[in-house]
Amino acid sequence: METLSQLLQANPSSASVTGEWFCISWLPDLATGERLNIGVAFQTEGRLYCKMLDYFERLKCLYGEGAIYHVQLISDVINEMVGCNQTDSLFPQVMIERKGFAQGEAVTEILSGLYDDTVTLAARVRKKRERVFNSISNATLYTSLVDELKQRAGLEFDRFVPPTPTIAIDDDTGRHSLYVPFRTESNCIGGLASAVYASSTTVELNLLKAARDVETAQRIRGGDNPSVFILKPGDELKHLPREQADQIEDKLDKFDWYMSQQGIYLGSHVEVGGLAEEIQHWANAA
């Protein structure tokens, strides 16, 4: 009979990424104690990633429009925590529970699998012939880019993708977190934003926050070649009414002009692979 070690040697794991995963849940009412899973997180090689609920139709049916605001606010807080590699819950109604070991071929694949299995509120209710716009959050974009850049850059990956996507700035008013996930050894700073949202307001807020963080980081820390990288909506815009799509394109055009006026390089693409190539070229030129 073969021993366990012999079996493991004969059938090595094909997983290239291993780590621990966490379930993120919310208690809408502390009195009832009902828990809703609203996201998952995964930690590997000292880096923390998350995928949060971004579809709210089922949540709205259960708790009304007001619940959407609360979950979106929680998601913003969780994303800030993930950027600082923090897994301790900050308030009693939100729990980040360590669940155990997870593995897979890529971080994106692992998070998607855990999310689909755990966050049942994310199951979409689709009507016949409904045109669906698939949004991509900043956190999801960052995770996808990390997977792509690891394959492209190999051993050079750590040279421009630090373990945490944020930097902390301390001053008299306290500690502030700036989201600049790409930073080179020569102190070049790159921000990141997803513009793949159906709401032009969300697109504008994402773009302006990315610009603000890069401008602030450069002003405080110095460095050359400040840049912002954005993922643009491609064919997804076809799923929106023409007026809505035009509003998004107008926000993107205005942001392009604003960046040029500020002397900040703007790299953009409609595909994650293309955006990763832009970032890699930027890092190699630094």
pLDDT in tens, the chain (286 residues): 444 444 444 444 456 899 999 999 998 887 788 899 999 999 998 899 999 998 888 888 888 888 888 888 888 888 888 888 888 877 788 999 999 999 999 999 999 999 999 999 988 876 656 667 788 999 999 999 999 999 998 889 999 999 999 998 888 888 888 999 999 988 899 999 999 999 999 999 999 999 999 999 998 887 778 999 999 998 888 888 999 999 999 999 999 999 999 999 999 999 999 999 999 999 988 7
* Residue 188 and residue 94 share a domain: no
CATH number at residue 146: 3.40.50
Answer yes or no: do 76 and 190 share one domain: no
Question: Is 131 within a domain?
Answer: no
Does residue 127 lie within any of the structural domains? no
Tokens 């800030």 belong to 80
- CB-CB neighbours of 125 under 10 Å: 9
Residue 73 lies in a domain: yes
Give the Cα-Cα-Cα angle 151, 152, 156 (nearest 5 degrees).
100
Model pTM? 0.82
H helices present in 84-129, as ranges:
107-118
Return the pLDDT at 262. Answer: 92
CA–CA separation, 269 vs 239, rounded Å?
A: 19
Pull the structure tokens for residue 52: 């949060």
The pLDDT value recorded for residue 68 is 86
Q: Which two tokens stand for residue 235?
A: 């064919």
- Buried b or exposed e, range 63-72, using 16+ CB within 10 angstroms: beeebeebbe
Burial group, residue 7, by CB count within 10 angstroms (0-12, 13-18, 19+): exposed
Q: Is residue 213 part of a domain?
A: yes
Asked whether residue 20 is domain-assigned, the answer is yes
Q: Is residue 153 part of a domain?
A: yes
| In a shared domain, residues 54 and 158 | no
166 & 241 share domain: yes
Give the pLDDT score at 259.
94
Interatomic CA distance for residues 257 and 29, integer angstroms: 46
130 within some domain = no
* Domain around 145: 138-285
Q: What is the pLDDT of residue 1?
A: 43
Report the domain count for the chain: 2
Q: Three-class SS of residue 222?
A: coil
The answer on 158 and 74 residing in a single domain is no
Beta bridge partners of 19: 102
pLDDT at 110: 95
Reduced to 3 states (helix: H, G, I; strand: E, B; else coil), residue 229 is strand
